[in-house]
Amino acid sequence: MHFKTIIEPFRIKSIEPIQFSTRSQREEYLRRAHFNPFLLNSDQVLIDFLTDSGTSAMSSQQWAAMMQADESYAGAGSWTRFENAVRDLTSMPYILPTHQGRAAERILYNHLGGAGKYFFSNTHFDTTRANIEFSGAKAVDLPIEEARNFSSDFPFKGNLDVDKLGEWIENVGAENVAAVILTVTNNSGGGQPVSMANAIAVSRLCKSKNIVFVLDACRIAENAFFIHQNENEYKGHTFYLIAQEMCALADACIMSAKKDALVNMGGFLALRNKSLADACTQLLIITEGYTTYGGLSGRDMEAVAVGLKEVFDADYLKYRIRSTTYLGNALKEMGVPVIFPIGGHAVYIESDKLYEHIPVSEYPGQALVCSLYRTGGIRSVEVGSVMFGKYDEKGALIPAEMELVRLAIPRRVYTQSHIDYVVEVFEEIVKTKKQVKGLRIIQEPAFLRHFTAHFEELSQ
């Protein structure tokens, strides 16, 4: 029997209080934060959907493992347990611990990149692109055509266009391709999953051209769920076995453990090639720490080792995907334009379609994140022309390809009543959408401007 009520597959053992606020208070908080929710204090936020990275609630087993942590500088027992867990998942012999995913990106992509080099991906995320471009290389997105059809039910919109990849390789020369990166799930592409068939095709092409194939596996458990659901030959596999098979296709694996390892801090870079591992290890020691701890404490490594097993629990993954889908479907039913099918970790909203009266140059996505906060205390993030837009030679905005707002749902943190509250807030958002104003940027850094940029609202 299938019941409608979504029940969390866990009991709550400890709680963290939420601070309530009035709309007038939130108006003032938002003004002081220069209309950028990144600059809000956490105690000013009621429901925090800014990111699912490092915001998970850890289990009693993870907390218990932390108590046995070995904080020795070199060769700690905690490192051994971490290394074994990562190696079992990835099948890669060389494991480099890092404090989070972007540190692993910096080490690998700075080594492989440089002027004249190209990186290709289904869609580069913000920190990935920044690390690549900081090295002087170019980051090129090659999503499939279906990725732009947000209303279709095609199940693998996160796939990389293998035909276009082949054309780009021929045009620029395989020797100038630093790496091909497959991100699972495709975060900047709406949290959409990647099929095993696509991963196999990308791997074969890279091998035939002697190009490094990197798997960005930060949400690999959620991706494994979608493969299990939608590729018939994997319906008899466990989620963990599916993830292992996908990792086995790659030459390198980067993971921000702050996502699907259910921890607050941690990451790794796993490699198959010894010479590449040796070069990256030198960068690790210079910038992160010794080889058996990187940027992590023993406590962090213990939590990752447990989390990499817990995240593949079938009851957890079914609940995780079903809960996210519940929110996305509820918004879709009330007319909010969302990327469909709903992804695993987040719901993505087409802000330019919701706010058709706000031009792209006035950042409709940033307008929506401000509206969500002032209306209901919900913090979210723009994934559009604030995050990915650039300027031409005359200083005019070159918009991003998509104007999205992401509601990234922390793992094991919010209950179903919290999700129902978010649905109610969106009912008000829809009613008042014509009253919302655009914004302009008044202060921004050269890289990753969305984190610290200042905005001001425009008069209508």
* 335-384 tens-digit pLDDT: 999 999 998 999 999 999 999 999 999 999 999 999 999 999 999 999 99
| Helix, strand, or coil (residue 264) | coil
Query: Mind listing the pLDDT tens digit for each residue in 36-85?
Result: 999 999 999 999 999 999 999 999 999 999 999 999 999 999 999 999 99
Topology given in CATH for the domain delimited by 60-310: Aspartate Aminotransferase; domain 2 (3.40.640)
Q: The tokens of 327 are what?
A: 């929110």
With CA atoms as reference, report the closest residue to 79 among 63, 68, 92, 90: 68
pLDDT exceeds cutoff 80 at 2? no
Query: Mind listing the pLDDT tens digit for each residue in 207-229?
Result: 999 999 999 999 999 999 999 99
* 3-20 mean pLDDT: 92
Across the chain, mean pLDDT equals 96
Q: Are 107 and 281 in contact (CB under 8 A)?
A: no
Alpha helices in 186-288 (DSSP H): 196-209, 220-230, 239-247, 274-287
The values of phi and psi at residue 9, to 5°, are -85, 45
402 vs 297, which has greater pLDDT? 297
pTM of this structure: 0.94
pLDDT exceeds cutoff 90 at 240? yes
Helix (H) or strand (E) holding 62: helix 60-67
**Residue 1: pLDDT band with limits 50, 70, 90:** low
DSSP state of 38: G
> Max alpha carbon distance in the chain (Å)?
62
pLDDT exceeds cutoff 70 at 460? no
**Residue 415: pLDDT band with limits 50, 70, 90:** very high
Q: Are 193 and 234 in contact (CB under 8 A)?
A: no
- 10 Å Cβ neighbour count for 416? 15
Q: Are 400 and 385 in contact (CB under 8 A)?
A: yes
Instruction: State the distance between the two ends of the chain, measured CA to CA, in whole angstroms.
Output: 53
For the chain, the structural domain boundaries read 23-52+313-457, 60-310
pLDDT of residue 126: 84
Domain covering 23-52+313-457 in this structure, CATH number: 3.90.1150.10
**CA quadruple 87, 91, 97, 98: dihedral positive or negative?**
negative
